[in-house]
Amino acid sequence: MLGGSVSIQFGILYVVATPIGNLADITERAKKVLSQVDLVAAEDTRHSGRLLSVLGLKKRMLALHDHNERQQAVVVVERLKEGQSVALISDAGTPLISDPGYHLIKLAHEEGVTVSPIPGASALMAALSVSGLPTDRFVFEGFLPARSASRKKRLHELASEQNTLILFESCHRIVDSLQDMLEVFGAERWVAMGRELTKTFETVRRAPLAELLAWVEADSMQQKGEFVLIIAGVEAEVIDESEQQLQRCLLLLLPELPLKKAAGVAAKLVGVGKNQAYQVALALKNRS
């Protein structure tokens, strides 16, 4: 049923990538491994059970998610040490990328268990590959905080990042997040949005932030599904200019306000992170 010449070794923990949408994206090696392991550890057994059913597989499954991972990791590693083979899968894509699995993999290494990757689909890499933005250096941030105040705080900390920035976002927060990014990053920052990648209503759109936000707000269909945002890094000369603005602002504020307060006000005015503003303020204070 599942062709190929792959054979697995018992006692190995296989980290298996599954499709992010299109079921045809599962690899022959992944199908072979899933057919032969003793146990499948899945983020959601009902969701993954449907995938296994489509593949014609009926496997023993164990739920391993954010709420039980530490306890279940011990159970899985004990089975591995007994010689059983286990496949770790997530709801979609490559496990551990904003998904459970870290504690299990860490414990497996600590206990001397062999961990083997079965590579495949990844929303992160799929979006980056079609973004039209620099791919030589990038930073993966995962999901931003759900609350606007915390989200803006994190965005301010990321505002001076020179490498391409990759974020995940949900349909419930995509508009709010883009609005916060517009406020912090500015209207001209280039962003590529990948929505529902590999699925029927896939969208890839590359535009300046203000244009992208207006387009998403105007079309309710573009507010549904799962999102990957690829954000251009800041050019070095822009950082130099903001640093100069920050220093000028702080030189005016420091004589009038306590250092921490001055740094906070300057950070908001210039659009940089509070930590950056505080370090510059400290340097200026020590220099005077």
For 239-271, the pLDDT digits (tens) are 567 778 888 898 889 888 999 999 989 888 887
User: DSSP character for 144?
Assistant: P
HSE-up of residue 163 (Cα within 13 Å, Cβ side): 11
Side-by-side strand order, sheet with 190-195? 138-143, 164-170, 226-231, 190-195, 203-208
CA angle 181, 133, 240 (to 5 degrees): 65
In CATH terms, are 12-121 and 124-231 the same topology?
A: no
Q: What is the pTM of this model?
A: 0.80
Quote the CA–CA distance of 159 and 97 in Å, as a whole number: 23
Residue pair 254/284 in contact (Cβ under 8 Å)? The answer is yes
Domain spanning 12-121, CATH architecture: 3-Layer(aba) Sandwich (3.40)
Helices (H) and strands (E) in the chain, counts: 11, 10
Question: Would you say residue 55 has pLDDT above 50?
Answer: yes
Pick the range with the lowest mean pLDDT from 11-20, 123-132, 227-236: 227-236
The domain defined by 124-231 carries CATH number 3.40.50.720 = no
**Cα→Cα distances 52→23, 34, 71, 172, Å:** 11, 8, 25, 29
Whether the Cβ atoms of residue 226 and residue 143 lie closer than 8 Å to each other:
no
What is the number of other CB atoms lying within 10 angstroms of the CB of residue 214? 14
Distance of CA 39 to the CA centre of its chain: 27
Task: Extract the tokens encoding 180.
Answer: 């916060």
Domain residue ranges of the chain, discontinuous segments joined by +: 12-121, 124-231, 236-287
Which one has a higher pLDDT value, 18 or 184? 18
Q: What radius of gyration, in Å, describes the C-alpha atoms of the chain? A: 23
The predicted model gives 75-80 an average pLDDT of 96
Q: In this predicted model, what pLDDT tens digit does every residue of 192-240 receive, in sequence order?
A: 999 999 999 999 999 999 999 999 999 999 999 999 999 999 876 555 6
Could you tell me what percent of the chain has a pLDDT over 90? 75
Residue 239 pLDDT: 58
